[in-house]
Amino acid sequence: MAVQALVQPALPLHVAVIMDGNRRWARSRGLPVAEGYRRGVGALRAAVRGAIAAGVKVLTVYGFSTENWHRDPSEVRLLMQLCAIFARTELAALRRQDVAVGIVGDIAQFSAPARAALGELVRATAQNRRLTLNLALNYSGRAEIVRAARRIAVEVEAGTLRAADVDEAALRRRLYAPKLPDPDLLIRTGGDFRVSNFLLYQLAYTELLTLPIMWPDFGEDDLVRAVGEYGERSRRFGS
């Protein structure tokens, strides 16, 4: 039997990033945790520049998980403030760079200033086309799947959807961002080897890359190099 040719990746359309290591970076330097997060915002700016330079079309970053609510209240407030600050201060630059911003997750629990600033950022960049930057905020991969399953159950019970018509496409249409392509490459900084409840449905055949550097040290060149490493891999998709 002939061996099926492997699929050689070229450029990843969609890169996802778990931005890990902000707190460890700060503590290892004897700095407040807030400084780690502040530097992390700078790393996100660099990642956007790197994605544009590498020709990536979609960049999805894990900004705030549902588990983050269990952290110290002062840290949660800091993260809310950073969301609002990022949305306000980065708007002009993202518009110049032709970057559209989307939200993946449920930010209804966020503070009013954060919700307002993020909403304006999404609206003001909606027509941009060079890169889509998705911020995964108050996000949980398991919660996303449960939410989609519950919506399907309600529709089946109401008689507007037949159980026989429930397939992968039906579930995908009920995810937070149904038109979002699956990530080709997932980058995790901080050296750990886990996906941390991030895009569980979408990561089925994603290439994984773990970097030992902490997120605040992540630079534009790191994303470009990651894309280059992706190009050297052979994707099999189960074949």
Active-site residue, 20 included: yes
Residue 236 has pLDDT above 80, yes or no: no
Residue among 22, 68, 106, 184 flagged as catalytic: 68
What is the spatial distance between Cα 208 and Cα 131, in angstroms, rounded to a whole number? 21
What pLDDT is attached to residue 9?
57
What pLDDT is attached to residue 237?
79
Secondary structure letter of residue 232 according to DSSP: T
Give the residue with greater pLDDT, 238 vs 70.
Answer: 70
Do the Cβ atoms of 218 and 191 come closer than 8 Å? no
Residue among 20, 22, 138, 222 flagged as catalytic: 20
What pLDDT is attached to residue 4?
42
In the chain, alpha helices (H): 22-28, 33-54, 73-89, 91-96, 112-124, 141-158, 168-172, 220-230
Please state the rounded mean pLDDT for residues 35-57: 97
The rounded percent of the chain whose pLDDT value lies above 70 is 96
pLDDT digits (tens, 9 = 90+) for 117-166: 999 999 999 999 999 999 999 999 999 999 999 999 999 999 999 999 99
pLDDT tier for residue 182 given thresholds of 50, 70 and 90: very high
What pLDDT is attached to residue 111?
93
What is the spatial distance between Cα 215 and Cα 195, in angstroms, rounded to a whole number? 15
What is the spatial distance between Cα 61 and Cα 48, in angstroms, rounded to a whole number? 10
Residue 214 has pLDDT above 80, yes or no: yes
pLDDT digits (tens, 9 = 90+) for 59-99: 999 999 999 999 999 999 999 999 999 999 999 999 999 99
What pLDDT is attached to residue 165?
97
Which two structure tokens, joined as six digits, stand for 218? 């992540």
What pLDDT is attached to residue 146?
98
DSSP string, 4-23: PPPB---S-SEEEEE---HH
Residue 8 has pLDDT above 80, yes or no: no
What pLDDT is attached to residue 235?
80
pLDDT tier for residue 1 given thresholds of 50, 70 and 90: very low
One-letter amino acid identity for 217?
A: D
What is the spatial distance between Cα 92 and Cα 96, in angstroms, rounded to a whole number? 6
Q: What is the SS3 string spanning 160-188? A: CCCHHHCCHHHHHCCCCCCCCCCCCEEEE
DSSP three-state, residue 1: coil
Number of other residues whose CB lies within 10 A of the CB of residue 106? 16
What are the C-alpha distances in Å from 63 to residues 8, 78, 205, 234? 31, 13, 22, 29
What is the set of domains in the chain, with CATH numbers? 43-230 (3.40.1180.10)
Find where tokens 């939410």 sit: 147
What pLDDT is attached to residue 30?
98
Helix 33-54 and helix 220-230: axis angle, to 10°?
50
What pLDDT is attached to residue 6?
47
Residue 2 has pLDDT above 50, yes or no: no
Active-site residue, 134 included: no
What pLDDT is attached to residue 78?
93
